[in-house]
Structure 1
Amino acid sequence: MTDHVRLASPPSVPMADAAAWHRVVAASMAHDFPGVPAPAPEQIQAQLATPGLDSRRLTWLATASDDVVTGVAALRLFSSPGRDHLAELQLHVDPAHRRRGTGSLLLSAVLDACRADNRRSLITETAADSPGEAFCERSGFSRALTLNHLVLSLADVEWTEVDELADAERPGYRLAGWTGTVPDVLADAFAAAKNAMNDMPVGDLDYGTSQWDADRVRSMAEVVSGRGDTLLTVAAVHEDGSMAGYTEIVLPRGGTARAEQYDTAVVPAHRGHGLGLWVKAAMLRRLRAEHPAVTAVRTDNAEDNVHMIDVNRRLGFGTERRTHEYQLDLPTRPKPTPLTR
């Protein structure tokens, strides 16, 4: 029998729906990403209840005739200038209920929402060589980017080398670090450095650009904190007061042993001085000292981001899996011509 789809948008996602959502995601990931831990139930609840930065989220659940949730979809609609054409999809179907039209039913609801919001591009991520790839290609998506997902076990780290890298002198630069929101004295410099991420490799994705200022970096930290996660940052500060580069780690709520790498960036004018390796080594040492319960760090890099992959390899990261970013180009309505007198 065909599944039924209903909209369940935050902030009104009931706990029962969040529990069902987690069950579907865990089953889907166990099938498509064997060995990769699924988010904990409290992480799923926080993601559903907490709006993302400069975006809003719509969610759908597909249910069978017995009201069992068989599939879920979350659509993130970006709202900041430079990205307000973009929507990002996460879609999971319980493997026990696949090939019954559930994914197509969810995608149809998602596409209706994208058209209603006049979105130009819809992107989604799927495991390499997985059923998700075939689903994307049948649905008209095109592969736009390949990501290498890397994991570092802290038990395997060569700490002597990491300490040497973190202690290395970088004339004209100093290290700074903080937890949560950036200190006010560094907020403007941090925002300027954040804009360096706009030249990261994105393949053929119509990803747009984000413009950062001090208020926006504070808002980002508030979003992370609102989910119950902990945000750690280590930065390289130039002697003129500008920020030359930084790296961010997020510790998910619930005391999980796996930390998640967020941004690492070096401002173009400061590249070629080993700053990316420097701040990442300092971050690893900080994890060892301040968060001994963390046993691994996960990151991902675009396949053509060879410099950052080399940095991660030197620190001991190994390949865990590969994923592909797919994109669907959507027709948009022309904006009305302003009336003139």
Structure 2
Amino acid sequence: MPTSVQIRPLQHVSAAEALAWHQVVAASTAHDLPGVPTPDPGQIHAQLTGPALGSHRLTWLATGADGTPVGVAALRVFTSPGQDHLAELELHVDPAHRRLGTGSLLLEAAVAACRAENRRSLITTAPADGPGEAFSTRRGFRRAMTLDHLMLRPDELDRADLLLLADAEHPGYRLTGWTGTVPDALADAFAAAKNAMNDMPVGDLDYGSVAWDADRVRAMAEVVAARGDTLLTIAAVHDDGTMAGYTEILLPQGSGPRAQQYDTAVVPEHRGHGLGLWVKAAMVRRLGAEHPGVVEIETDNADDNVHMLAVNHRLGFRSYRRTREFQLDVPTT
């Protein structure tokens, strides 16, 4: 273990500490995921200091003898019923300082925090077949799920085909959309639809489940807005007022060229009518009209989520990388 490395918990992340954090994450991402954009220091500061939905966050910064930042770790400790056994770890070490024990020291701090918080499961994500996967496996994590990351470039789509999908007739259903917080008249219906995510395939991951209500969906939108991001939603509403399905897109602070797909779900009793493809096609059309600077949309699906993978491939998403979710049973002593 490197005696010259100091692991320091961050109580209140300053702008300078966010800059140090960014330095490590940028170097790690460029090495492990070339081409994947890194949040800027302002975005990282907002992510580390803003509110977190159904959780709280613990953070550590590792520095060398000269004060250079060499590693970071963030632990999201879930607090909602149904997930209060769980914590999620993000850990980065600057490639120039790897294999010197820094990652192990950061992981030890995170595992100790899990024990102190009475969390029995720790999950983390790493690029498939990369150094993060090897690190996780050596330290007792088991592979729980593989995620297929897909990219859509709207300017490469057949415009006529997109309009055909977005304008398809779905008798008994209508489309509606909003930016940010769901309108009050739709809040309860949206919360009910959100609960459809609880049967999403998650491999062997012990992710638990979340009960959504109107207050929680409002709080989620407030968390996104507080860190400077924009959340777009399109939903399919049945004639009886039930929200049958929806899709969400996140535009990171600054409206860069890449949007992130958030949830897409169809309520079980409304499946089999093509609603997932409908709302996603309508969202791509909306992005083109309202946010023409977006040239890429990234999404991910568990590799056993064959239905949503088929929907995304039909729309024009193409696989471009894979990550894996790992889970550690936290030792009690």
Please indicate the TM-score interval, normalised by the length of the shorter structure: over 0.9
Aligned equivalents of 1:254 and 1:49: distance in 2?
18
Give the stretch that moved more between structures: 57-66 or 44-53. Answer: 44-53
Q: CA offset at residue 254 of structure 1?
A: 1.5
Alpha-carbon offset, residue 117 of structure 1 = 0.5
Q: Is the 2:180–2:221 contact (alpha carbons within 8 Å) kept by the matching residues of 1?
A: yes
The CA distance in 2 between the partners of 1:16 and 1:150, in whole Å, is: 34
- In the other structure, the counterpart of 1:238 is 238
For 1:29-65, what per-residue CA distance to the aligned partner results, in whole angstroms no more than 9, with x for missing partners? 1111111111222211110111210110000000100
| CA separation of 1:16 and 1:260: change in aligned 2, threshold 3 A | same
Which position in structure 1 is the counterpart of 2:293? 293
Q: Residue 325 of structure 1 corresponds to which residue in structure 2?
A: 325
Q: Which amino acid aligns with 2:193?
A: A
Structure 2 residue identity aligned to 1:195: N
Letter in 2 for 1:120: R
Q: CA RMSD in A?
A: 1.0
Q: Is the 8 A contact 2:259 2:297 kept in 1?
A: yes
Rounded Cα–Cα distance in structure 1 between residues aligned with 2:251 and 2:41:
15
Aligned length in residues = 331
Find the counterpart in structure 2 of residue 223 from structure 1: 223
- The equivalent residue for 2:8 is 6
Give how far 1:281 is off: 0.3
Deviations 1:177-197 (A, max 9, x none): 000000011000000000000
Aligned to 1:306: 306
Deviation at 1:332, TM superposition (A): 5.0
SS at match of 2:309: helix
Structure 2 residue aligned with 1:43 = 43
1:1-341 residue pairs with structure 2 within 5 A?
A: 1-2=2-3, 3-9=5-11, 12-332=12-332
Whole-Å separation in 2 of the counterparts to 1:244 and 1:194:
10
8 Å CA contact 2:62, 2:69 repeated in 1: yes
TM-score under structure 2 normalisation?
0.98
- Would the aligned equivalents of 2:237 and 2:244 in 1 still touch at CA under 8 Å? yes
Give the Cα–Cα distance (whole angstroms) in 1 for the partners of residues 255 and 176 of structure 2.
25
Contact in 2 for aligned 1:249/1:260 (Cα 8 Å): yes
Partner AA of 2:23 in structure 1: R
TM-score by length of 1: 0.96
Report what 1:338 is aligned to.
none
Whether the 8 Å CA contact 2:77–2:87 is kept in 1: the answer is: yes
Q: Distance in 2 between matches of 1:70 and 1:206?
A: 31
* Alignment check: 8 A CA contact 1:63 1:70 kept: yes
Structure 1 stretches of at least 4 aligned residues deviating more than 2 Å after TM superposition: none
CA distance in 2, matches of 1:159, 1:284: 11
Residue identity in the other structure for 2:104: S
Partners of 1:28 and 1:315 lie apart in 2 by 32
Q: CA deviation at 1:235?
A: 0.1
SS in 2 for 1:110: helix
**Distance of 2:129 and 2:330 partners within structure 1:** 25
Deviation for aligned residue 1:255 = 2.2
Of the structure 1 ranges 124-133 and 43-52, higher mean CA displacement relative to structure 2 is found in 43-52
SS of aligned partner of 1:288: helix
Question: SS state of the match for residue 286, structure 1?
Answer: helix
8 A contact 2:245–2:265 mirrored in 1: yes
CA contact (8 A) 1:172 1:238 kept: yes
Structure 2: tracts of 5 or more residues without a match: none
Q: Is the 8 A contact 1:30 1:36 kept in 2?
A: yes
Residue deviations 1:146-191 (CA, integer Å, cap 9, x gap): 0000111122122211111110110100001000000011000000
Structure 2 distance, partners of 1:255, 1:117, is 36
Instruction: Say which SS state the counterpart of residue 301 (structure 2) adopts.
Output: strand
Amino acid at match of 1:266: V
Give the letter for the 1:317 counterpart. F
- Residue 319 of structure 1 and its aligned partner are, at CA, apart by 1.2
